[in-house]
Amino acid sequence: MEIEEELAGEVGEHPRGTDEDEAEIMLTYKAMYKFLDEGVHAEVLDFPGVISCGADLEEARRHLASALVDMAETNLIQGDPLPPPDPSRTDAEADLEEPIHLLLKAASRIVLTPQDAAP
C-alpha cells in the first residue's frame, strides 16, 4: 500500500478510483499550529501521536505531513485501523487550524504463470 500526503482539498473522505485494480481514498484530518518563540508546533488533532515542529509555518506543514504519513503507514503495517477524521476537533490554544489530507492508494497486482512454465 502506498501512502501520499496532500495539503489541499475538501473536508471528509473521498473515494477516487483510477483503475479497476487501484483505489484511492482521501482522508481529511485537522492540523493545528501554535507559534512559539522557538518555531512552530504542529499537531494533527484527530490522529493521536502525529506531532511535529518547524522553524516556520511552511517547514512545520511539511514535517507534519511527513509525520502523518509515517504514523498512518505504521498503523497499517501493524494491522491497526486509522482513526476516523473528526472535523469538529479544535484546540483553544491553536494559532491556526486547517485541513491536512492523507491520500491512501491500494492496488492489487496479479501475475499469471502458466502451469507448464519451467521455474
Query: CATH no. for residue 81?
Result: 3.30.160.250
Structural domain for 88, as ranges: 2-107
Cβ-in-10-Å burial (0-12, 13-18, 19+) of 37 comes to: exposed
pLDDT of residue 116: 73
Residue 115 lies inside a defined structural domain of this protein: no
pLDDT of residue 117: 60
Residue 112 lies inside a defined structural domain of this protein: no
**Which among 84, 108, 96, 109 is positioned nearest to 29, based on CA atoms?**
84
Residue 88 lies inside a defined structural domain of this protein: yes
**What is this structure's pTM?**
0.73
pLDDT of 101 > 80? The answer is yes
Give the integer Cα–Cα distance in Å for 51 and 67: 7
CA dihedral 60, 27, 98, 72 (to 10 degrees): -30
Residue 12 lies inside a defined structural domain of this protein: yes
pLDDT of residue 79: 94
How big is the chain by its Cα radius of gyration, in Å? 18
Residue 73 lies inside a defined structural domain of this protein: yes
**Contact present, 9 and 100 (Cβ < 8 Å):** no
Task: Kindly state the helix (H) or strand (E) to which residue 82 belongs, with its residue range.
Answer: none
Residue 118 lies inside a defined structural domain of this protein: no
Give the integer Cα–Cα distance in Å for 73 and 82: 9
Residue 83 lies inside a defined structural domain of this protein: yes
pLDDT in tens, 9-47: 333 444 444 455 678 999 999 999 999 999 999 999 999
Report how many domains make up the chain. 1
pLDDT of 100 > 90? The answer is yes
Residue 119 lies inside a defined structural domain of this protein: no
Cβ-in-10-Å burial (0-12, 13-18, 19+) of 68 comes to: buried
